[in-house]
A = this chain, B = another copy of it.
Amino acid sequence: MTSYTIAEAADLTGLTAHTLRYYERDGLMLHAVDRSSSGHRRYTDLDLHWLELLSRLRATGMPIREMRRYAALVRSGAGNEQERLDLLREHRRRVLEQLAEVQEHLGAIDRKIGIYLDAVERTSVSA
């Protein structure tokens, strides 16, 4: 049964020790993280996998309070898979929407870049 100190967990997840404590305080973990006899946090592989999912949700723009809701659903055990599914699908929908929007804006910015490219080339030709 492998376990990790907060520093190791921070390294492995790419989060900081501060953030790991914050997530726990904020109700994002499925259980209070285990403690060693000395009271230090000991993260399990399961904890790390959960943190990895949390990181993916964050990285795709899910707000903390929604991750908290999702954590609560998972915590409350089997039987609410439909709700979890709905939550993730709704998130997915929003992410795709946002991706499309960003791509459209990027297209407009690219056209702007084209204009400057022309200007810069004209300059170097005329120089």
Contacts and interface: CB of A to CB of B under 8 A. Distances in A.
A116 B102 CA distance: 29
30 contacts: A53-B108, A53-B112, A56-B105, A56-B108, A57-B105, A59-B101, A59-B102, A59-B105, A60-B102, A60-B105, A60-B106, A60-B109, A61-B102, A81-B123, A82-B116, A82-B120, A85-B116, A85-B120, A88-B109, A88-B112, A88-B113, A88-B116, A91-B109, A92-B110, A92-B113, A95-B102, A96-B106, A99-B99, A99-B102, A99-B103
Interface centre among A81, A101, A119 (most CB of B within 10 A): A81
Given A85-B116, A123-B81, A56 B99 contact: no
Q: Work out how many copies of this chain go into the complex.
A: 2
Contacts of A99: 99, 102-103
A68 interface: no
A84 B112 CA distance: 10
A94 to B, nearest CB: 11
